Amino acid sequence: MSIAYLEMKRSNAITRRNTTATRKNLRNVVRLLSLLAPPLDGRKVKVHVVRNLPKDRLGDCGQGVDHYLVRLSAEIVDTQPDAVWMLLAHEWAHALVWEHCTHSHGEAWGMALAKSWRIISGEISPGDLTHDLD
């Protein structure tokens, strides 16, 4: 075997480990967002990593009968783990303010984005909920 082949195999193994870690972290962060920033209309937010988004999108948010569906580009999730979190915050914010400004990026969406980002970045945590109850 050539050195180039071994390097390629090693690189692919590292990429698979990083992809798995990012997707596991994504599941944990979605659980946290569901707990700390659920939509006010009581619907759940489902997050799917997909390969079939239109070429001009990195993610999107849609409305189902009883839930919102956030779709994130598998390419972004698998190759740009740092970008995943801002993309998730962006799309989660759309779900939070769907009834007020579906596809726009107005003031309500900006506030929802800030809240989502503060949770994702760790600035707001579940422990903060207990302080509010005291």
The pLDDT of residue 131 is above 90: no
Q: Is residue 134 part of a domain?
A: no
What's the number of domains the chain is made of? Answer: 1
Please provide the DSSP assignment of the chain as one string: --HHHHHHHHHHHHHHHHHHHHHHHHHHHHHHHHHHS--TTS-EEEEEEES---TT-SEEEEE-SSEEEEEEEHHHHHH-HHHHHHHHHHHHHHHHTHHHHTT---HHHHHHHHHHHHHHTTSS-HHHHHHHH-
Confidence at residue 99, expressed as pLDDT on a 0 to 100 scale: 80
Please give the model's pTM, rounded to 2 decimal places.
Answer: 0.79
Q: Is residue 71 part of a domain?
A: yes
Q: Is residue 131 part of a domain?
A: no
Q: Is residue 133 part of a domain?
A: no
Q: Is residue 45 part of a domain?
A: yes
Q: Is residue 108 part of a domain?
A: yes
The pLDDT of residue 112 is above 80: yes
Q: Is residue 99 part of a domain?
A: yes
> How does pLDDT run across 39-98, given as a tens digit for each residue?
989 999 999 999 999 989 999 999 988 999 999 999 999 888 889 999 999 999 999 998
CATH code of 34's domain:
3.30.2010
Q: Is residue 46 part of a domain?
A: yes
- The whole domain housing 112 covers 3-126
Segment among 4-18, 28-42, 48-62, 111-125 with least mean pLDDT: 4-18
